[in-house]
Chains A and B, each alone.
With several copies, the nearest count.
Chain A
Amino acid sequence: MVAPPVRTGLSLGRFGAMREAGLIVIILALCVAMSFASPHFATWGNVRAMLMSFSIEGIVVVGMTVLLIVGGIDLAVGSVVCFAMVVGGSMFLMGLDPWTACLIAIGASALVGAGMGFFVTVVGLNHFITSLAAMVIVRGLCLVITKGTPLSLFTLPPEFKAIGQGEFNGVPYVIIIFVVIVVLFDFLLRRATAFRKVFYTGSNEKAAEYSGIRTRQVKFWVTVLCSTLAGLAGVIYMSRFGAATPTFGVGMELNIIAAAVIGGASLTGGAGTIFGAILGIALLSVVTSSLILLDVSVYWQDMIKGCILLAAVSIDHFLNRRKS
């Protein structure tokens, strides 16, 4: 009598799966169209290029999605990515070995998240304004640390650079790390008790409190998680580019949030999946690559990109509405 739950016991269960189905169809349709339009599209080189281009951002998307589910938002991710690069880079230049430097950088990013978490949960500000202030402050810190000049990390040892630039059997480490994180968090978000509390808190904070969930703690730790993942992305970028630029990641936050929202995360909390969010960033990336591949005029690229985005989201919305 009772239908078996699909994939998860969460309300999003079957519906969630459908959401993603819509996006998958759209992305596949785009890819097929592109394969006909450009002979270069369906090559391993190009697929690899597209994967590479969004895999580090994808790590940030994971954190943002969890934060959106709890009802928060983080405008500071771009700054934190940069902060991690800059802190890691300058630690390394001060003589630390790169691994320790990176750990410190990720730790510093987590601290930024803890600071935001403090203002949100203890002082009681909202995530938007807190993270906006953090965005400005952290970007300022990057300027202070670098004195405005990019740090050249040319001397990073090759075994460290390998993380961002190397491959394992032809598959870049970056992609491996990305896939591991996505699979891990997708699993945890669907199954782990701790992450279940994230859904409860985001869906109805008051009801969560009335269920004995310490919602402030949940929000705090999710805020920290988001910044920590941004920090991780930052050190991977550092390894990839062998540099730390104080202006890196400006404007990244909107792209990240857009990806999560396209993938079904709700800005009011309580809904969202990692898998969907990753499809969201993949969509954005495929569109960008396609326009370049088709050699569309730079003046028209933005416009067409925006239109495709709007069309994709509308179609996705339409497909989901029909099914539900």
Chain B
Amino acid sequence: MSGGNVLEIRKISKHFGAVQALAEVDFMLERGEIHALCGENGAGKSTLMNIVAGILAPSSGEIRLEGLPVHIGSPAEAQRLGIGLVHQEIALCKDATVAENILMAATNARRAPLMNFSELNRTAQKVMNRLAPIPVTRRVGALSISNQQLVEIAKALTLDCRVLIFDEPTAALTEAETQALFCIIRGLKQRGISIIYISHRMAEIFALCDRVTVFRDGRYVSTDRIAEVTPDHVVRRMVGREITQLYPEKLAGEPGAPLLEVERLSDGAQFSDVSFTLRRGEILGLGGLIGAGRTEIALGVCGLAPTTQGSIRVDGQPVAIADYTDAIRAGIVYLSEDRKHSGVFLDLSIAANVSALDLRKLTRNGLVDRRLELTQAITLCTRLGVKMGAIGDPVSSLSGGNQQKVAIAKQLSVKPRVIIMDEPTRGIDVGAKSEIHKLLRELAADGVGIIVISSELPELLGISDRVIVIRGGRIAGEVTGAMTEEAVIRLASGVGGNFADVA
């Protein structure tokens, strides 16, 4: 019966201390299929994949490869067995070049005592170009997070695999890269390679995959042919309830008075001459391709990166923002796109993470009021649906999506006037996503101004009242009214009417 199955996972369980991450889950992967794995944040998807890739050891259960039981004790063994994994969390050597990172596994397996750098660079560039033309002699540490994600993917493509696993590869990618990736994945499938694809984006799953398996709370729920189910169906299985409305209602009337006015802002390198106005009560989207400079603009506004020119007004009053503390004082907060490096404190507790942004609020007589801190953390985490052991556990014990929720909770804890969110729902499941969207809309209704930077076009259009598109560090135009994906893409890529408002 199992003749068609490359990989069979039987009754695998895994617990971390008291937390049961997986409870006797089964999973079958057929040869040459693209198999989607779905589930809410913390459902155990990454944990299972880490077990298959030899990074974690299962508490119990069995893994069969081509019908034979195997023991996968280390990533090296997994690679020997032909199992490759694109990690959800980027794990690259920042001090090494892109080429070295892409071909690290090959380097490790090489017999030759000396490196051949020119060949290494040539080979790596070829692989890289299939995704995006990132020069492979650059140091990985100097790349933006989205480019790092591409390197992480390219790295997996060099492996000689039977089974290739993608754990949320597109969370930080825009449409163009996503499409390039899909082409590659389909090509791999043609070559008989079996693929497991994890994503929270239903559209992707339905465009790419053959079958879908759903996990809930560490348990196996179902497996279906994609052709036989609908997205709503899958979501219901994941969440256990209906998600009626994906995006909240948009702003009904006119937005309020100007709240944040940015005028001719430049940083002398990544962006220049950026002017826009954010009004009270509106959600403004920032669109663009990878590397367009949206992140840099946000950093510049918040004082997290130096600017050379331009002025910022809040409520009509000019404010001098030298560093981020000034920005926070002025009521502007920023959610970083790079969760691991600048979003959360992995070793510190969830509670401590949530309160990091504004300790003053929690301080009584110079001491942190821990009751207040806990109440605040628990309230926000419950609201965002963070799946966790205890509020005192370190953030590193959370799943990727739940870490992102903690980072968002941190932003929301301060009651700011302007929230800038860079890729806010990276890796967040459908249910929580709509919860966050609802929350943002409620904040906006309370008079908060919100800027959302998102590479996921449907989200950008779904949540924003209008979208400003950035190209090459300049404002390429604005999309309002009945916004279409096409309009944004056209502005972002520079095809068609330049600098023209597309209504």
Cβ contacts B78-116/A at 8 Å (1 or 0 each) = 011000010100011111110111001101111011110
Q: Are A196 and B91 in contact (CB under 8 A)?
A: no
B282-299 interface with A by 8 A CB criterion:
none
B395 to chain A, nearest CB (A): 8
Cβ contacts A201-224/B at 8 Å (1 or 0 each) = 011101111111110000000000
Question: Number of A-B pairs whose CB atoms are under 8 Å?
Answer: 220
> Interface segment, A8-16, A51-59, A306-314?
A8-16
**A9 touching B120 in the complex, CB below 8 Å, given contacts A204-B92, A206-B342:** yes
Chain A minimum-CB-distance residue to B117: A9
Contact of A193 among B114, B121, B155 (CB under 8 A): B114
B340-395 interface with A by 8 A CB criterion:
341-349, 351-352, 356-360, 362-363, 366-368, 370, 373-374, 378, 389-395
Cβ contacts A11-28/B at 8 Å (1 or 0 each) = 111110000000000000
Q: Are A5 and B108 in contact (CB under 8 A)?
A: no
Q: Are B347 and A270 in contact (CB under 8 A)?
A: yes
Q: Counting CB contacts under 8 A, is A199 at the interface?
A: yes
List A contacts of B351 (CB < 8 A): 5, 9
**A193 touching B92 in the complex, CB below 8 Å, given contacts A3-B135, A9-B392:** no
Q: Counting CB contacts under 8 A, is A83 at the interface?
A: no
Q: Are B359 and A193 in contact (CB under 8 A)?
A: yes
A296-324 interface with B by 8 A CB criterion:
324
Q: Are A212 and B93 in contact (CB under 8 A)?
A: no
- Once the chains are docked, how many angstroms separate the CA of A158 from the CA of B357? 51
Q: Are A211 and B410 in contact (CB under 8 A)?
A: yes
Q: Are A200 and B345 in contact (CB under 8 A)?
A: yes
List A contacts of B136 (CB < 8 A): 2
- Candidate in A13, A199, A270 with the most chain B CB atoms within 10 angstroms: A13
Q: Are A194 and B366 in contact (CB under 8 A)?
A: yes
What does DSSP make chain B's interface, helix, strand, loop or mixed? mixed
Q: Are B341 and A204 in contact (CB under 8 A)?
A: yes
- Once the chains are docked, how many angstroms separate the CA of A225 from the CA of B101? 25
Q: Are A213 and B356 in contact (CB under 8 A)?
A: yes
Count of residues in B whose CB is under 8 Å from the partner chain:
82
- Once the chains are docked, how many angstroms separate the CA of A211 from the CA of B105? 5
Q: Are B115 and A191 in contact (CB under 8 A)?
A: yes
List A contacts of B255 (CB < 8 A): none
- Once the chains are docked, how many angstroms separate the CA of A8 from the CA of B374? 11
Q: Counting CB contacts under 8 A, is A6 at the interface?
A: yes
Q: Are A5 and B118 in contact (CB under 8 A)?
A: yes
- Once the chains are docked, how many angstroms separate the CA of A280 from the CA of B89? 36
- Once the chains are docked, how many angstroms separate the CA of A192 from the CA of B114? 4
Q: Counting CB contacts under 8 A, is A271 at the interface?
A: yes
B301 to chain A, nearest CB (A): 14
**A200 touching B96 in the complex, CB below 8 Å, given contacts A5-B118, A207-B91:** yes
- Once the chains are docked, how many angstroms separate the CA of A324 from the CA of B344? 21
B411 to chain A, nearest CB (A): 10
B190 to chain A, nearest CB (A): 26
List A contacts of B310 (CB < 8 A): none
Q: Are B107 and A193 in contact (CB under 8 A)?
A: yes
Q: Are A200 and B356 in contact (CB under 8 A)?
A: yes
- Once the chains are docked, how many angstroms separate the CA of A2 from the CA of B348? 17
B217 to chain A, nearest CB (A): 14
**A12 touching B121 in the complex, CB below 8 Å, given contacts A191-B367, A211-B105:** no
**A210 touching B366 in the complex, CB below 8 Å, given contacts A9-B351, A196-B352, A270-B345:** no
Contact of A212 among B109, B139, B341, B343 (CB under 8 A): B109
B15 to chain A, nearest CB (A): 14
Q: Are A210 and B75 in contact (CB under 8 A)?
A: yes
A167-202 interface with B by 8 A CB criterion:
191-194, 196-197, 199-200, 202
- Once the chains are docked, how many angstroms separate the CA of A204 from the CA of B55? 15
Q: Counting CB contacts under 8 A, is A123 at the interface?
A: no
Chain A minimum-CB-distance residue to B373: A9
List A contacts of B155 (CB < 8 A): 211
List A contacts of B174 (CB < 8 A): none
Q: Counting CB contacts under 8 A, is A94 at the interface?
A: no
List B contacts of A204 (CB < 8 A): 91-94, 341-342, 344-347
B210 to chain A, nearest CB (A): 27
**A270 touching B95 in the complex, CB below 8 Å, given contacts A203-B347, A212-B324:** yes
Q: Counting CB contacts under 8 A, is B334 at the interface?
A: yes
Q: Are B137 and A3 in contact (CB under 8 A)?
A: yes
Contact of A11 among B336, B352, B366 (CB under 8 A): B352
Q: Counting CB contacts under 8 A, is B304 at the interface?
A: yes
Contact of B55 among A197, A202, A210 (CB under 8 A): A210
A225 to chain B, nearest CB (A): 15
Q: Counting CB contacts under 8 A, is B399 at the interface?
A: no
List A contacts of B345 (CB < 8 A): 11, 199-200, 203-204, 207-208, 270
Cβ contacts A253-279/B at 8 Å (1 or 0 each) = 000000000000000001100000000
A121 to chain B, nearest CB (A): 13
Chain B minimum-CB-distance residue to A69: B95
**Chain B interface residues (CB < 8 Å from chain A):** 17, 53, 55, 74-76, 79-80, 85, 87, 91-97, 99-101, 104-105, 107-110, 112-115, 117-118, 120-122, 125, 135-137, 139, 155, 304, 323-325, 327-328, 334, 336, 341-349, 351-352, 356-360, 362-363, 366-368, 370, 373-374, 378, 389-395, 410
15 CB contacts below 8 A, A to B, read: A2-B125, A3-B135, A5-B391, A9-B115, A9-B117, A11-B345, A11-B352, A13-B97, A194-B113, A211-B108, A212-B74, A212-B80, A214-B325, A270-B345, A270-B347
* With A2-B391, A199-B348 already in contact, 13 other A-B pairs whose C-beta atoms are closer than 8 Å: A5-B391, A9-B392, A192-B113, A192-B366, A193-B114, A199-B95, A203-B96, A207-B91, A210-B91, A212-B109, A212-B327, A213-B76, A213-B108
The 7 closest A-B pairs by CB, nearest first: A9-B117, A203-B93, A3-B390, A211-B104, A11-B349, A212-B76, A270-B95
